[in-house]
Amino acid sequence: MTGVVVGRRGRRSAGSGVPLTFEVIAEAVRERIRSGGLRPGDALPTQAVLMREFGAASLTVQKAMTLLKQEGWAVSRPGKGAFVAHHDHPDDADDLDRPDTAAPLGGTAARVDTLERALADAV
């Protein structure tokens, strides 16, 4: 993908529907994961690479990576970097209904789902 430059300002009016730069970066990485361009266990692009690609500041890229980690798309390995998480994401809800599919690691709803499945399997 060629460099995409988006607005650098972090403020927007409520309900404007215009994504902030960190949201644009996070969505671009999510799309790479969904499309198979990045597979579970693959290293995510470095902060420097994302800064160049999107014309973004380091803090903006950090916010995007934090969002991806909170949503369960990425995991950090201290001293190694950030990697694609080893699971299907909730956006693929149909896949989550298959018994051979692992539940997402992040979020309360995902944890509850995992515990409910474990309890159902135990019964």
What is the β-pairing status of strands 74-77 and 81-84?
A: antiparallel
The domains of the chain are located at 21-84, 90-122
Q: Are 52 and 34 in contact (CB under 8 A)?
A: no
Number of Cβ atoms within 10 Å of the Cβ of 14: 4
**21-84 carries CATH number 3.20.20.105:** no
d(CA 95, CA 103): 10
Phi, psi dihedral angles at 75 (to 5 degrees): -130, 150
- What is the model's pLDDT at position 110? 60
Positive or negative, the CA dihedral 50, 56, 58, 61 is: negative
- What is the model's pLDDT at position 1? 47
- What is the model's pLDDT at position 46? 94
Host H or E run for residue 74: strand 74-77
- What is the model's pLDDT at position 104? 43
Report the candidate in 69, 71, 28 with the shortest Cα–Cα distance to residue 50.
28
| Chain centroid to CA 121 | 29
pTM (two decimals): 0.60
Per-position pLDDT tens, the chain of length 123:
444 444 445 555 555 678 899 999 999 999 999 999 999 999 999 999 999 999 999 999 999 999 999 999 999 999 999 999 986 544 443 333 333 334 344 556 666 666 677 777 776
Strand partners for 56: none
Token reading at 58: 């380091």
